[in-house]
Amino acid sequence: MGLVHWAFPPVIGGVESHLWDYARRLDSAGYRVTVFTGTGGPRTPAAGVDVVRHRLLDLATYRASGRAWNAWWTARLRTAVLRDFLWREVRRRGIGVLHGHNLHHFTPVVARAVNGIGKGRLGSGRPLARLHTLHSLWRDKADILAAEPCMKWERQYAVSDFIARDGREVLGVDARLTYLGIDGDAFPHSPLEARVPGRIVLPARLIPDKGGAFAIEALALLRQRAHMLPPGVDPHLVLTHTPGALDFHDERYGYRDRLDRLIREHGLDRHVEFVDGRTVDQMPALYAGAHVVAYPSIYPEPLGLAPLEALCVGRPVVVTATGGLAEGVRELGGPC
């Protein structure tokens, strides 16, 4: 089994966390697993999982190398180089199924490379089975064109009903709804005694879409009403700062400064903490210390794995009712 995605831990994000669990579960079920990624210095989730890097799977290669590089390495040449690499690895490792994740974004190079090896036959005489999962979907023209090469693969999956509907509407593909699961062994239930009273954790990349500013404004209102809270509950916010996380649209630039100004305006300097990005293995402890986990996304979130992880640990979650978030979080109060 081969898994293909742009990034892998130590880079942290929803897709990366899912692939970490997915690869580990496949390995424990007896499959031989190889992860193909662009992340430098990738970690391995299990002794039986091989993680292989190629620079043409690294988004930074396409975005930061400059026009001269792009003029030299034409799309056709990049596709041929990656196709030959993947074909060698597929045959050498005996991979029968190649499962791509979000390969419909950014560039068609990777999907075209997989299409090239999909025409060949494996040592058994069987064609390579190609699967693809839509973890998100963007509606701009460039991404719709980039999606075309992988839309004819043997099977398409969508991580939420929201994404499945978008797939039909935008790409004309009938993707099978397959919700992402959470590894309960990796996120064990934590006793309430482990929580810090009043601690609100927002476990997301530090970009505007994830609602950091919204959370700071909400904290300011909450502290104004602190007299209504039980004794000993001191509302404070923990934001995760993940320098190595993917920044698809250059959103991080200047955002931390804007949040710092907002914190000062509300006099919250002592009540908002930025913590360095956690590894996948450190996230359970972050959730366990929370009184409540907030996920106030201000864009249509495809699904939202972090809220599901927090629920698995046993912490209440507050989310905005946008995109697929409400599909994973049962509504007990009212939507934000």
Q: Are 195 and 171 in contact (CB under 8 A)?
A: no
Cis peptide before 10 (omega within 30 of 0): yes
| φ/ψ of residue 245, rounded to 5 | -75, 155
184: in domain = no
pTM (two decimals) = 0.88
C-alpha dihedral sign at 210, 137, 329, 203: negative
Cross-sheet strand order for the sheet of 199-202: 272-276, 236-241, 199-202, 292-295, 317-319
93: in domain = yes
Closest CA to 241 of 210, 287, 195, 196: 210
**Cβ-based neighbour number of residue 9 at 10 Å:** 22
Rounded to whole angstroms, the maximal C-alpha distance in the chain is 72
* Amino acid letter for position 47: A
201 DSSP 8-state letter = E
Q: Are 300 and 210 in contact (CB under 8 A)?
A: no
Please state, in angstroms and rounded to a whole number, the distance separating the CA atoms of residues 325 and 320.
Answer: 7
Q: Is 195 helix (H, G, I), strand (E, B) or coil?
A: coil
185: in domain = no
98: in domain = yes
Out of 152, 177, 202, pick the residue that ends a domain: 177
Out of 153, 177, 201, pick the residue that ends a domain: 177
Q: Going residue by residue through the chain (336 aa), what tens digit of pLDDT does each one get?
A: 999 999 999 888 889 999 999 999 999 999 999 999 999 999 999 999 999 999 999 988 876 544 444 544 578 899 999 999 999 999 999 999 999 999 998 889 999 999 998 766 566 667 899 999 999 998 888 888 889 999 989 999 999 999 999 999 999 999 999 999 888 888 999 999 999 999 999 999 899 999 999 999 999 999 999 889 999 999 999 999 765 555 555 556 689 999 999 999 999 999 999 998 677 888 999 999 999 999 999 999 999 999 999 999 999 999 999 999 989 887 665 544
C-alpha dihedral sign at 251, 14, 19, 126: negative
Per the structure, how many domains does the chain have? Answer: 2
Kindly state whether residues 196 and 173 are assigned to the same domain.
no
Which tokens go with 258? 């804007």
Q: Which residues span the domain enclosing 240?
A: 192-328
Establish how many alpha carbons lie within 13 A of residue 233's alpha carbon, considering only the half-sphere containing its beta carbon: 16
CATH number assigned to the domain comprising residue 233 = 3.40.50.2000
List of E strands, the chain: 2-4, 33-37, 49-53, 97-101, 129-134, 155-158, 176-177, 199-202, 236-241, 272-276, 292-295, 317-319
Kindly state whether residues 154 and 224 are assigned to the same domain.
no
